[in-house]
Each structure stands twice: as C-alpha cells, then as structure tokens.
Structure 1
Amino acid sequence: MSCVDIKFENIVYPKLNRGTANQEILKNLSGCFYSGQLTGILGGSGAGKTTLINLLSGHITTNIGGKVSINDAICSGADLKNSSIYLMDDDLLQTSLTVKESLLLVAELKLDKRLSASNKIKTCLSIVEKLNLTSSLNTMTENLSGGEKRRLSIALELISDPPIIFMDEPTSGLDEVSAKNTIDLLRSLSRDGKTIICTIHQPSNIIFNMLEHVYFINDGRCIYDGTVNGLVPFLDNILFPCPKNYNPADYILEMSQNNEEISLRCNSVFTPYRFDREKCGNKEIVSYGNLKSERRRIGFLKQTGVLLKRHFIQTKRRKLAMGINVAHHILCGLMTGFLYVGTGNDAAKTANIYKLSLGAVAYISFAYAIIPILVYPFQIKIIKREISNDWYGLKAYFLTQSLAPLPYMIPLCFLFTISCFGIVDSSLSLERYSRLSVILIGVAIVSHFYGHTIGAIFNAKNACVIGSMVATIAMNIGSFHHYRISFTTWVIRQTTFTRYGVTGCLLTFYQNRKLNCSEIVCRHSVEKLIYDDFGVGIPSYLVQLSGLVVNVICYAICFYVILRIKFYSNLVEVWRNFKAKLSK
C-alpha cells in the first residue's frame, strides 16, 4: 500500500458568476488529509460536511472553484473517483446472499482475473478476520446486526485495497459500542497507510478522542484544522475556553452556530494542519501516475458472468416468491380463460377472444412492470454505489438486467398461455401455443424494461402512480380497435406495445383457421372481416412481432440512457443547482 495525501486549496462550491447572490455552500476551504491517520470532518447540519466529501471523492464535478491534488499532482473528479471508494451512511447490501458469498463474488469482480481462486479466498478470509466477521460468514446479509452490516460494507470495499476511503456518517444508526468498534476499525486501517476520511455529525466524547485529525466546518468555512488534543488550547487562544467535563467537539459546534464572533476569531488565528510523515512508517509515497497504473479491472464478459451468477443465487434463494409467481401465472390464466371457456372456435364469439387477448396482454404487462416500478427505486441506490466504487461497468450491468429474467420469464409465460387459452379452445395446436407464448414473452420483455425505466427515473411512490397511469393509457390506446380512426390516433397506436400484443394474439388464434358458427349467420366466418372489424391493420404475425421487437429496443435504450445519466452524467447535478437557484 502506498501513502496517498489529498490536498485541496481555496475550494468554493458552487462557483458563481459576478453579480450573483451569495449562495455558496463551501467558502474558500483549504486543507490536507494525510494517509496513516484517521481524519474526521465535523460540523452541524448544513455546515457543508457531506458536500466537501462528495467533492473530494469526485461525486461533484461541476461549478467548483479551487483545486484538488493527490500527492501534489492536480487531479480531476474522475481521477478522484478512480483512486478512492465512498461509503455512504446507509449500509446498502445485496440481499439473499451470505457474507461469504458476498465477499467471494466481489473478489471475482475486483481482483485480477489472473489471481487463482485460492488466493482470492485467502484475501477474503484475511479481511474477514481483520474486521471480526468470521462468526458471520454463513449468515444472510439481511440478518446481520447494524454493526456487522457496517463492517461488511467496509470489507467489500477493502477487497480491492483502495488507498483512500471516504465515509459519510460511519457511526450513524449504531449504538455506542458498535460506533466505537467501527471507529477503532477505521483507525487500524489507517495504520496500514490508508487515507481514511469520514464525516461525523456530533460525536460522543469517546468517539471524538479516537479521531487523530479533525476538520471543523461551520457555514461552509473551516474553523479548526488540527489534532484532537490541540482543540482545547485553540479555544483558550481565541478566548472561548472550553468548560471542564464538556465535550470540546460539542462546545465548538454550539458556540460557532450561536455566536458569530467565535467564527471570526477562529478564522483570524487559523493555521493549516501539518502531519508528521514519519508516522506513516515505511510506506512509500508514490506519484499519482504510478498510483493509477496499480488499478486493474476484469473484462466486460467476466463482469456479466459474475453478475448473472449473483442474480441466479439470489433467485434460487427466493423460493417462496418464485412459488407465488408460478401459482399467480397459472391461477390468473385459468380465471381469465374461464370467462370465455369453449368459445375459441365460434365465429359468433370472436369478441370474446379479443377481450381474452386484451386481458392476457394487460396481465402480462402489469405483472412484469409493477415489480421493478416498486422495487427498483430502492435497488438503484445499491447499483449506483457498486458502479461508483468500480465493481463493474454499466454495460455489464445492463446486459445482466436484459438476460437475467429470461430463464424464468419464458416458462412462466408459456404456463400462462396454456392455462389461459387452453380452456378457451382445447383444439389449439402446439404451434399456436408457441406463437401465443412468443407474443406474450415479447410483451413481458417490453414491460420489464418499461418498469425499470420508470423505477430509475422516479421514487417508489411517484413511480407507482406514473407507471400505472402511463400503462393504462397505453392499454386503452392499444385496444382501440375501430378501423375508422384519425391519423393522429393511428400514429399513437403504432407506438404502443399493447397494440402489437393484442393483435398478435388475435392473429395467432384465427389465422388460416376454419371456424364454426353457433348462429344462423356469422359475419366473422370470413377471416378478413375479423381483422377489419378489430383494426388489425396488416394481418401479419411477423409485423406484430417486429413491432414488439422495436418496442423492446426503444425501451431498452431509454433504460440505458437513464442509467447513464444517473450514474455518470453531470446533468442531474446541473439540474439540482438550477432548481436551487430558482428556489432562492
């Protein structure tokens, strides 16, 4: 491990043009965070702690004034991201995996592919032993205690041996003992030459005294930069002595927030902190160029393989959910088909088959869209953390999301087709069952990407409302079957995947088929009249299937672009800054 120091000078955020009102969150901050020691950034709510750590970790890259350097080499936001890992205050862990499985899967993603499996296991076990997780190796991640989850979050990132670790509120949500153990762990990691930087809102006296370097912020300005032991003499020097038996951290925060004079005095006697490099031991200080060359990443296909492996392990563990899903498809298929039992070969009751097709498409659409709409807004936080900390790339994740549902989506749609259409017309051939299943699988894939797109854009509450609203509108437009429609309605209908699903089912059911007639005269004994009355348009199965394929491609592209914007683009950050300016 090489020593890595982060230095920042005259940091202003957001950087504003002349004549703009003073809305700065960080105001001319300077300092240096050294390896070999544990640094705590302290301050009250809204002081700018999280903003500073987001900036130093490369998660804020626009509207920044000043410069940031690693080992005296000026670096960009991308450089900062590549050289560090960032752990937020909530422990975002993949569920339905044991601690051991989580570590080994991450080791496959992060460690050099040339490293043998036994060496990867040794790396994981050494980290487990260091973080005191040996007794929890076979425990599911969702069953861990708060302290164990925090240690596992750290362990997963330590596999790649990062030189810099940023942590936002590492003690939040933990009891005093777990918080003390977490800080003690961070201190031991800093002894290995790592640069550990964490924000802490209001530390207890015990936690505060465990820190080695503290950086106090109030109203976007640094009011103290130094050691814990140096804080009380500093307060005496500015004529605001800390009372005995009083936590110095609490005192300086309370006084700076309630007394503007103390902030002015702090700024007047402020001196930057300097660290004795000898405390870093024999660790080598390397240039940033050499530091970047140490980082490696496995290939795209290997990443996809590991992510698919993780997905299938999780799916296999969720047996109850899979059982409910199977029963749900069969029962809903039977209930839908029961409404029109025995009417499939009757030319007088073709409207029943149209309604059946519409009901089948509606069921499949909502079944495969509603789960990602409800779940993905929470899951995307985990994915963002994993991609941000360089576990894998967005393309590998996207391909995994595209392929992973197919092994259970295909048989489930076939089960639904048999249970739904089988009792309506028992004379259907295997070929027609297969064609119906392919159409419904196409609808399911489109709905899968549609649900993920909505879930990626909105939070769970808004996604549920907007997702169901848009799907209902699409269903109504797609089911509008009268052949005398306006050109505008016709164009809109061509863009709805439900239209291709319904007409595809209808074509499969009636194409090249002789129907019986239960009445004296049946208009729909003529196949062409069925298609005309229900507005099928071009009576071609391949056209309907092609329409679904185009919809799959369009929704998949939308999903990928949304993820790209969320994970990599500065558009989200720019939009937030714009909204902040408008609100003021």
Structure 2
Amino acid sequence: MEPKDNTNGVGQPKGLFIKDRNQDQVELKFDNLYYTVSLGFNKGTKDVLKNISGHFAPSQLVAIMGPSGAGKSSLLDVISGYNLKGVRGKITVNKAERQLDQFRRVSCYIQQDDRLQPLLTVGENMQIAANLKLTADKTPKYKEAVINEILSTLGLEQCKFTRTARLSGGQKKRLSIALELINNPMIMFLDEPTTGLDSSSCSQCISLLRLLAHQGRTIICTIHQPSATLFQMFDQVYILSRGQCLYQGSTGNVVPYLSKLELPCPIYHNPADFVIELACGDHGNDKIDKMINEIQNGKCSAWTDQNDLPVANVPVNEEIEIPQNRITTGAKPKKHKEHVYHETSSYNQLKCLLHRGIIKCARDPDLTYLRIGVNIAVSVLLGSLFLQIGDDGNKIFDNYNLLFSVLMHHVGSTLMLNIINFPSEISILTKEHFNRWYSLKMYYIALNILDVPISTIGCLIFSVIIYLMTGQPMDWSRFGMFTLISWLMVLIAQSLGFIIGIWFNVINGNFVGPIIVVMLMMFSGFGVNLRDIPCYLKWGTYISFLRYGLEALVAAIYKDRPLLPCDDLYCHYKYSAKFLYEVAMPVDQFGNDVIALLISLVVTRVAAYYMLRLRVRARESL
C-alpha cells in the first residue's frame, strides 16, 4: 500500500504548524539534585552540583549562567540525560519521573562544538537527517517540504548546496539546530550556542532560539557572560555559583531581586555582568550565601513572572504527535528492542548511512584517493628497489625482506590512517547516536561495508604492480594466495586502527599504534626466527597476526618450487627448502595461517564494536 501523503497540493506539509497543542509541551523540573565526580584514585569525590532545584516551563528560552566552573554544562548534561553517572536527586517531566527512553523521543542535545559532516552539503545533511528521523509513512515530498521550511526559517536556504566545511561559524550553529528540528523536539538543550560567534551572529542565534521557544518548545542553553542585549532576549535565567543556585526567574526580575537583597546593580551596568561578578565572589562570599538562601537553592519560584510566559500557539510538527502517556507516565517502561527506540527501521538506517558514506568516500581524499595513490606509489618504489628478484636463488633473502615489507606497508599505512581519521568521527557519532538518529550496530555495519571496496581495490592494485615488477612466479594460484593474504592483513589492520582510534585521541594513538606494531613484529619470525624465540615468550607468536601473514606469504611464493635459477657456480639457496629451514618458515601451514588470520579478523572486528559501544556510552555518562 502506498504511504499516506501528508502534503497539500502545493507540497507543503499539512499541519506542520498546529496551534494550541499544549498537551505536547514539556515542563521540566528537578529537585535536590546532586552531581558527584571522582577526583582520581584515592583522592575522594567532589560535588559539582549541590542539592539544587529548578523549574523550566514550556514556551521559554532559558539561560543557565555562571562563571567558569560553576557547573553550567554539568547541569545541562544531567537534566538532558547525557550524563547519568554520579547523579542523585529527582528529575520530573510533566510532573512525572523522567523515563529516559521516552524523554529522548521529545528532546535533543546540541553540543558546544559543531559536530557536522564537513564533506556533505547543507541540503544533503538535512536530507539524511530527515530520512533517519522521520517515520517511514512520510513521503519524499513531505520531507522536502519540512527541510525547505526549516532552512527558510533559519536563514539557510541560500546555503543549501554549500558544503558544511565552507560555512561560517554562525551558519554551522544554525545548521546544528536545523538538523535536530527535523522531528520537532519539544525540549532542546544547547551548550554555549554563542561560542566562537561574533556579536551579530550571537544576536541572530539567540533570536532564532527565542522564536523557536515561543512556538511552544522548552529551550535551555548555557551561556557564559552575555551582553545586555542578549541577556534581555532570554525569558528566564538560572544563575549558578560553585554548584549552587543564586537566582531563578525572569530576566526582568534580576535587578529587583538584587535590590531586595541590598545588592543594587549600578546604573548603566549590564545586569548579567554584575550578577557574574557576584557569582565569582568579587563582592564577597557572604553575598553568594545570601542569594542562595533567598532563592532556597532553586526551590523558590517567586521571581518567575508567570504573566509574561509566552502563549504556545505555533509549530509542533505533525510528525511528533506525542500521546499524553508517552511523556507523563511514571510507570517503568517496557524494555524495547534497539530498533524500536529509533523512528526508522534498521534497514533504513543502514541504507541512509551507506548513502552518506558513499558521498564521503567520493569526496574525501584521505579515505579514497590518498589510499589508492599510496598503494600505487609504494608498490612502484618497492618494485623498483627489488626489481625482478623473485626468481633469483642468489637474492632469496632479499625477496624474503620484500615480503615482510609488503606486510608492513599494508599494516602501517592502514593502521595509521584509521588512527588519525577515526577520532574525529567519534564526536559526531556520539551526538547523532544520543539524539536517536540511528543505532550503533547499524553505524558499525555500514562502516565495515564501506571499507571493503576501497580496501579491495587498493590491495589488488598494489599486488598486481609489486608481483609483476619483482618477478614473482607467474602462477595464478600463487598470485591469488599472495593477494588474499595481503587483503586479510589490510582488514585486520583496519580493525586494530579502529580499536586504537576509539580509545585514544590522535596524539596518543600515534604513539600507541607503532608500539603495538613493533610488539607484533617481535613475534612475527622476522629477524628472530620462531625456532629461536625463548619458550616463555612463545605465547607471543600465537597472537601475532604478522607471524601468520609472513608464513602464508612465504608459503605462497616458495611452496613446491622447483630449483631456483642461479648465475653463480655454487648457489646454496637454489633449493628453497634450505632457505625455509633457516628462517623456520613451514610451507605446509597455509590453510592454518588463513584460518588464524580469519579468526584474528573476526576477533578484532567484534572487539572494535564492543569497545565502540563502551566508548560511546562512557561519553554519554561522563
């Protein structure tokens, strides 16, 4: 059956903006909230947030303010559900205990840094987000209408065909917001949305957020020290100092509040600057205690002017019609399968991620053109250095060195490329996964599928050039064995690069990666042959995939070889068996070596996936 068309005759979504949908609005409240962090081994803990309370009503733009270290970002992380570890207290949504699975369906979190795909255009980013975040019953015409309306509202329609990397700071910030508006979340969290923007872009950004809030959403953002103009744009302000609440209420009531406490704001002075001075303790710590007691650490709501709250009369996307029990029930939710947690099926997620990955591969010189170019360049250089030695008995050790060089090229280049590139993907993955774009499983499957064609093409080109230039035996079976082992080594090195890139940043990864390769080389049988390795270190030879790769390449080239041609009168290694004995390389273990490499590949790929899960979840709960 054809999906229902939710558009009118001119392609505009029916009911994209629906009035008086107050049942969909989100009221957030927290009481006696603590957030405790560890200071390190045997160093105890520290309370970042100390028994604070607060209330954020719908249709308001809320600013969480305070000096550096006051706990602004920590509070945002806790109430958004991004951080769960070390949290105590009660958080309610529409007067019922917050249930994370349900809460994340109506909320989004936009981090301080712009976590965007730089190689995609604005339109492509929006299209992929729409395909991932809107349910399957929405037609392409409907999705396109939603995208165009959002881009028009946010002033990005002129940038639709511009790559994200070429956008200005303000445009990137607006695009970050636009991507999350696709499924019209009713509560939005933004960490320092004005960071890195000039005054004009700051004003545009806050004006936009104010507009979105007055359409019925609850928008909460942290901001360090706004100008007087920006300060007045916020409906409500929540001021923190040393993890405690100094003020909660409307921005217009800040000056009267301070006057009541005999802390008058100087004439022509920015109230935001003055209250930050108080929060820093510049006017004495007793003033901080006085404000905390007056506001009851956030429990007092007397300074919130209820009469000035905007009336929510605008946009709630028809897509996000939320039944009352979806966000107000206090009952424990049933456990859902992972695909139920997202708006679209696993198949659709995989299809969208593959589509995005193909675009990135076509435009990314590092992931595609550089990898193929490096394989061509290195194969030509090695081929020139070891020209036509593969069939010369006098140069059998040189050929042995070449085989090891082939392995090191495949492992080293592939490993380091992933160590350098993958950490930048982690931040984007964390944001998109937390905001329910797709499941981690589908992301990892797509990542592995996208790597296979490029790896295969690069490896095949390298094998053809190096095999022909170095004069290896012209036998299709031997060439196939040589290429297969090279390909498996590339895939294993990719997995190892994922593991290192997941847990380390670029700097530390560039240190750890070569060390691991050196340790694997020690047990590969090259330099020190397997026969001479001490018995108490034999275990290393069983876990070194370089050992199995080298054994298999030697077997591919020298198994059942006849007498090798030799120009000298006496050629000791014209019998390849003598050479194989000296280097302790068996040639009857090729099948076992392939099995060992396949096991190594499966183990490293599975390990990379579970380490990725741990890393993403750890970031979401830090």
User: How does the TM-score come out when normalised to structure 2?
Assistant: 0.87
* Matched residues, number: 570
Residue equivalent to 1:221: 244
Residue equivalent to 1:272: 301
Question: Following the alignment from structure 1 to structure 2, what is the Cα–Cα distance between the partners of residues 7 and 80?
Answer: 13
Residue equivalent to 1:261: 286
Question: Following the alignment from structure 1 to structure 2, what is the Cα–Cα distance between the partners of residues 366 and 437?
Answer: 17
Check if 1:194 corresponds to 2:194: no
Residue aligned with 1:405, SS: helix
Residue equivalent to 1:580: none
Check if 1:505 corresponds to 2:553: yes
Shift of 1:418: 1.5
Residue equivalent to 1:439: 485
AA at the equivalent of 2:175 = L
Check if 1:567 corresponds to 2:616: yes
Among residues 132, 153, 172, which one is paired with 1:149 in the alignment? 172
Q: How does 1:101-500 map to 2 (within 5 A)?
A: 101-257=124-280, 258=282, 259-270=284-295, 271-272=300-301, 274=304, 276=306, 279-281=310-312, 287=324, 289=326, 296-318=342-364, 322-425=368-471, 427-478=473-524, 479=526, 480-500=528-548
Residue equivalent to 2:592: 543
AA at the equivalent of 1:442 = L
Residue aligned with 1:483, SS: helix
Question: Following the alignment from structure 1 to structure 2, what is the Cα–Cα distance between the partners of residues 260 and 21?
Answer: 25
Question: Following the alignment from structure 2 to structure 1, what is the Cα–Cα distance between the partners of residues 179 and 484?
Answer: 41
Residue aligned with 2:251, SS: coil
AA at the equivalent of 1:486 = P
Shift of 1:459: 1.3
Residue aligned with 1:25, SS: strand
AA at the equivalent of 2:326 = G
Cα distance, 1:504–1:145 mapped onto 2, change above 3 Å: same
Residue aligned with 1:368, SS: helix
AA at the equivalent of 1:127 = I
Among residues 23, 29, 36, which one is paired with 1:14 in the alignment? 36
Residue aligned with 1:97, SS: coil
Would the aligned equivalents of 2:492 and 2:604 in 1 still touch at CA under 8 Å? Answer: yes
Question: Following the alignment from structure 2 to structure 1, what is the Cα–Cα distance between the partners of residues 583 and 410?
Answer: 21
AA at the equivalent of 1:42 = M
Would the aligned equivalents of 1:500 and 1:544 in 2 still touch at CA under 8 Å? Answer: yes
Question: Following the alignment from structure 2 to structure 1, what is the Cα–Cα distance between the partners of residues 44 and 609?
Answer: 38
Shift of 1:22: 7.5
Question: Following the alignment from structure 1 to structure 2, what is the Cα–Cα distance between the partners of residues 67 and 442?
Answer: 52
Per-residue CA deviations over 1:281-308 (Å, capped at 9, x if unaligned) read 3589964525799975212222122111
AA at the equivalent of 2:185 = P
Residue aligned with 2:238, SS: strand
Among residues 61, 73, 86, which one is paired with 1:38 in the alignment? 61
Shift of 1:410: 0.6
Question: Following the alignment from structure 1 to structure 2, what is the Cα–Cα distance between the partners of residues 4 and 160?
Answer: 15
AA at the equivalent of 1:340 = F
Identify the range of structure 1 (408-417 vs 429-438) with the bigger mean alpha-carbon deviation: 429-438
Identify the range of structure 1 (77-86 vs 356-365) with the bigger mean alpha-carbon deviation: 77-86
Identify the range of structure 1 (80-89 vs 139-148) with the bigger mean alpha-carbon deviation: 80-89
RMSD: 2.4
Shift of 1:367: 1.1
Cα distance, 1:100–1:70 mapped onto 2, change above 3 Å: same
Cα distance, 1:303–1:499 mapped onto 2, change above 3 Å: same
User: How does the TM-score come out when normalised to structure 1?
Assistant: 0.92
Residue equivalent to 1:576: none
Check if 1:99 corresponds to 2:147: no
Residue equivalent to 1:3: 25
Residue aligned with 2:90, SS: strand
Per-residue CA deviations over 1:36-88 (Å, capped at 9, x if unaligned) read 01000000000010000000111221222210011011124555444421111
Residue aligned with 2:479, SS: helix
Shift of 1:507: 0.9
Identify the range of structure 1 (364-373 vs 495-504) with the bigger mean alpha-carbon deviation: 495-504
Question: Following the alignment from structure 1 to structure 2, what is the Cα–Cα distance between the partners of residues 275 and 230?
Answer: 8
Question: Following the alignment from structure 2 to structure 1, what is the Cα–Cα distance between the partners of residues 444 and 573?
Answer: 45
Structure 2 unaligned regions, length at least 5: 1-20, 315-320, 334-339
Percentage of pairs with the same residue: 28
Would the aligned equivalents of 1:61 and 1:570 in 2 still touch at CA under 8 Å? Answer: no
Would the aligned equivalents of 1:4 and 1:285 in 2 still touch at CA under 8 Å? Answer: no
Cα distance, 1:420–1:194 mapped onto 2, change above 3 Å: same
Residue aligned with 2:532, SS: coil
Cα distance, 1:381–1:10 mapped onto 2, change above 3 Å: same
AA at the equivalent of 2:455 = M
Would the aligned equivalents of 2:30 and 2:54 in 1 still touch at CA under 8 Å? Answer: yes
Question: Following the alignment from structure 1 to structure 2, what is the Cα–Cα distance between the partners of residues 426 and 62?
Answer: 59
Would the aligned equivalents of 1:111 and 1:160 in 2 still touch at CA under 8 Å? Answer: yes
Residue equivalent to 2:3: none
